[in-house]
Amino acid sequence: MIITLSPAKTLNYQTKVPFDNFSIPEFLKDSKELIDILKKKNEKDISNLMNVSSSIAKLNYERYQKWQIHFTKNNARQAIFTFNGAVYKGLNFSEYNKQDFERMQKNIRILSGLYGILKPLDLMQPYRLEMGTKLENKKGKNLYEFWKETITKKINEECDDILINLASKEYSDTIDTKKLKCEVIDIVFKDYKNGKYRIIGVNAKRARGLFANFIIKNNIKDVKDLTKFKEMNYKYDKNSSTNSELIFLRT
């Protein structure tokens, strides 16, 4: 079972990591190609490209200039402990033991605009580059054209049964599901609001992290056991779910 997650915009390089083991991202040569393009852009270029404020553009301009292909624990940090968004707050590392961290490393994959695919314990230098960014490169006009073949091939190598998609559409669209050998199951969380069930972004993000945590801590291998998830008062809805989409509702 492989679980896909989106990255987060906010990063944490300050707090102590709860597990010392680390790995190195597999596609650093590809990442360097993108960095070489980004290093040629000034702060205004970055602001326009990413549609961000001048302060965020300045921060990321500096990050790109400092980025180097030699990764160490002095200039990088494990990805799963660095991303600091709502999804990652649902991963309760204080309750993890060595086996949990090893299971997490085996099963979770983070899709990234800069790194392609990150294992949880892959060292990561700070960056911001969303998958939807229209960054022209040698493979095309955007990051989907740059990464799709690489990411799809890698997932095919690692996933021989089920892919649990907890990534947002922006990131999951970089996987060519038609070429995957494994079954893909999307997990959807909806809240009842204004007379109908709908996806509430911040709630769905937090639930995705809790769902990933639920799989890892309980060592879930059977799809049927996924329906037992009840965090944040979400409950599996059999009537609206399908074989390829498990829907959890909250009133």
> How does pLDDT run across 96-120, given as a tens digit for each residue?
999 999 999 999 999 999 999 999 9
Determine the pLDDT at residue 134: 96
Mean pLDDT of 221-243: 96
Query: Is 64 part of any domain?
Result: no
Q: What is the domain count for the chain?
A: 1
pLDDT tens for each residue of 15-33: 999 999 999 999 999 999 9
Does any domain span residue 48?
no
Alpha carbon distance 50, 98 (integer Å): 38
Predicted pLDDT of residue 160 = 86
Average pLDDT, rounded, for the chain = 96
The mean pLDDT of 67-91, rounded to a whole number, is 95
Percentage of the chain lying above the pLDDT 90 cut:
99
Q: Which residues pair with 124 in a beta bridge?
A: 77
Does 125 reside within a domain? yes
Confirm whether 235 is domain-assigned: yes
Evaluate whether residue 133 is within a structural domain: yes
Environment class of residue 110 by beta-carbon count within 10 Å: exposed (0-12), middle (13-18) or buried (19+)?
buried
pTM to 2 decimals? 0.95
Domain, as residue range, for 18: 2-22+78-250
Average pLDDT over residues 164-179: 96
Read off the amino acid at residue 221.
Answer: K
User: Is residue 214 in some structural domain?
Assistant: yes
Residue 215 domain-assigned (yes or no): yes
Residues 158-197: b if buried by 16+ CB within 10 A, e if exposed: ebeebbbbbbbeebbebbebeeeebebbbbbbbbeeeeeb
Q: What is the pLDDT of residues 220-231, one digit of tens each?
A: 999 999 999 999
Mean pLDDT along residues 125-141: 96
Three-class secondary structure of residue 184 per DSSP: strand
**Residue 245, domain member (yes or no):** yes
